[in-house]
Amino acid sequence: MQSSLTSRVLVACSEPPEAVDPPAATDRCWPMAEALAAGHDVILAVPAVTGLYHRRFAVVYYNSRNLWLVARDSDVVVCDAAVLAGNPQLLKAGKPLAVDLSGAPLPGESGAAAHEIGRVLGTADFFICASEEERQAWLPALKDAGRVNQYTLEGDSGLRRTIEVARPDRIQALTDFCAVPRYASDRGSGLSLASLPVEEKSAKGIAYYWRAFLYLLRTGGPGAVWSRGSLAIKRRISGRR
């Protein structure tokens, strides 16, 4: 019987796994799907018809037309950067989105792929990579994309809830992200200061506080809303901002 934390997870990769058993060690999609399948209902979507089969998750073929349909029927989407860059319609599915940055070109490098990365960094909810060294290399790029702000740093100065190492032997962070999708969505993208119009940043009108309220409720629950709200009231009374 599935637990209440079991999610329907779509894992989409830009390259089909090699037709060997098991697939090559350099391929991350297959072992990632295998590890996530230990606690979730997983579909692995690949861009080519394949005879690969796994008893714990489904392997399906996708194209630009049906990928959005599969994503819409999932609770969480996990994909590599190339998939999101080539299929921006995934964002319209409205699902929590984790992007694997392993092997992707850093912004500023030459090539069209590096140019697309900036948009990927500004839209996904969570990012994963293969090593701590790779994670450190991506932190400046995330800062340039506006993902390092008061919301993402709240209780997470190391930005572990924004970008974390994930591989088959270190899958817990990604498993947790998938487990509670209603709290996983938007860890600093749509509700961040970077995405607010300039007039809302300065005036802090109703829209600003409503987005802040939703963010706190999703990420920390009623306790976080009460803690932040009471602190704001105390500051108002004392005359401090």
Q: What is the tens place of the pLDDT at every residue in 122-133?
A: 888 899 999 999
69 has pLDDT over 70: yes
| 62 CB-contact burial (10 Å; exposed 0-12 / middle 13-18 / buried 19+) | buried
Q: What is the pLDDT of residue 163?
A: 94
Q: What is the pLDDT of residue 196?
A: 34
Q: What is the pLDDT of residue 24?
A: 46
1 has pLDDT over 60: no
Q: What is the pLDDT of residue 2?
A: 43
Q: What is the pLDDT of residue 188?
A: 40
Q: What is the pLDDT of residue 76?
A: 92
Q: What is the pTM of this model?
A: 0.72
In Å, what is the CA distance from 172 to each residue of 90, 176, 215, 220?
24, 6, 23, 19
> Mean pLDDT for the chain?
77
Structure confidence at residue 205 as a pLDDT band (50, 70, 90): low
